[in-house]
Structure 1
Amino acid sequence: MLFVGARDRERYYRVRYVPVIPETGKEFGLSAAEQREYEAGLKVGVNMMAGYGAIVVVRPAHVRYHTQIDEDAGNVVITNKGNSTVMLDAFAQCKAQLKECHNHKVHYLRPGISISHPKEVGKSFQFTLVEGERKKRLAFGQM
């Protein structure tokens, strides 16, 4: 992968690995005998093939983190105003005093994205804000 240009913003690339059945002359390096043996195996049984993929995140040359958290009587709004993705790790809903936490999730906030979470009576929520190497544990609601 090669990108020529300004690295002023975060970029995302999807990489996919898709299996293919070997064919002669298609640069698989199979001899004619190996090709016949492979084809005979296909006629006799079932071939299981699985593909997979990944998202590659390329951070900007000069990363700037700026996560803004606004809290009012009914909601907590978390906004990523920086230029690189931040992670809200172990985001969990809890009973008051941060006991009996459940539904642990991970949220990724890309630049410019906000997430809003309602405050509920008798409940609180907590998460770890991860900005690059820096981690900060935060909690909101009735404690």
Structure 2
Amino acid sequence: MDETTASDPLEQVAALVQQGLVARLWFFPVTAEGHLRRAVRQIDGIPITPDAAASGVLRSLLERARHGDPEVVAVIERHGASRPNPDDWAWHDAIHRAARSVPVVLRGVLLAHAGGVDALEPRTLAA
């Protein structure tokens, strides 16, 4: 089976990614039972901040990443300090906006940095 069974998918993802080394996005599908599926989408070489094409690309990636599962965990990876910077928040917001138009629940957005992996807190976004 291609699923992990630890309790919290966010903790499972953090254990798999471990820390930020390069600019990359990860998308991990989560089954209806709350298990993390190992069918991961990884996108290397992302720009520092999302560009004009990011919204459409992210929607497509979220749709493909979910593999028919109801939820997805996203990870923004980059080397650097643990404190989120404006570019991290721009990616966070772009991922959330893209998820609004895809039939998937965004379980969480994590930030992988030089010191580990932390959840980015949800925040209210403008339309």
Same fold by TM (over 0.5)? Answer: no
Q: Which fold has the larger relative contact order, with Cα–Cα distance below 8 Å and residues 6 or more apart in sequence?
A: 2
Q: Structure 1 or 2: larger strand share?
A: 1
Task: Give the TM-score of the pair, scaled to structure 1.
Answer: 0.27
